Structure 1
């Protein structure tokens, strides 16, 4: 499940859903091997009751972590591209890296 879909579902469940809806969402996340997200969302259900505020907070935490992960991946790609351009000489790969560097 992609991040946008997950956050939309969290908003829907927090607004009009119940604990069973959250548990269903958790099962779908586990089936797609998104266990960390499933664990975070599962914490919003306690003793069969949904804590909507906790669910919204979980969604925000997942969103913040995803943004941080994307930014770190961008920095890592930029670092690797610079290293390739410094040491790679002039070939097809380094020319592609120069083109890529403009978009990073």
Structure 2
């Protein structure tokens, strides 16, 4: 599930949904192997009642974690590209890496 779609659905459930909607979302996330996100969503339901504030907080946590993961991936790619350029010589791979380095 795309992050923006997930966050939109969380907002909809928090505003007009109920506990069953949140549990259904958690099940769909589990089926798509996004268990950590599903656990965040599941924690917003207690005794059959939806805690909308906690659901919104879960969405914010998911958003922040995704941004951190994306930034870390960018840093890792930048480092790998620099390492390749430092020891790769001059070939088609390093020329491509030089082009890629301009965008990361």
TM-score (ref. length: structure 1): 0.99
Where 2:103 maps in the other structure, the secondary structure is coil
- The equivalent residue for 2:85 is 85
- Aligned mates of 1:21, 1:54 — CA distance in 2: 14
**Aligned match of 1:35:** 35
Task: Return 5+ residue gaps in structure 1 as ranges.
Answer: none
Aligned-residue offset at 1:61: 0.3
C-alpha RMSD over aligned residues: 0.3
Instruction: Please give the alpha-carbon distance, in whole angstroms, between the structure 1 residues aligned to 2:85 and 2:36.
Output: 36
Measure the CA separation in 2 of the matches of 1:61 and 1:34.
14
1:46 aligned residue: 46
Q: Which residue of 1 aligns with 2:20?
A: 20
CA distance, structure 2, for counterparts of residue 29 and residue 47 of structure 1? 21
* Distance in 2, Cα, partners of 1:71 & 1:10: 23
The count of aligned residue pairs is 104
Task: Specify every segment of 5 or more residues in structure 2 that has no aligned partner in the other structure, as ranges.
Answer: none
Residue deviations 1:6-51 (CA, integer Å, cap 9, x gap): 0000000000000000000011101111101000110000000000
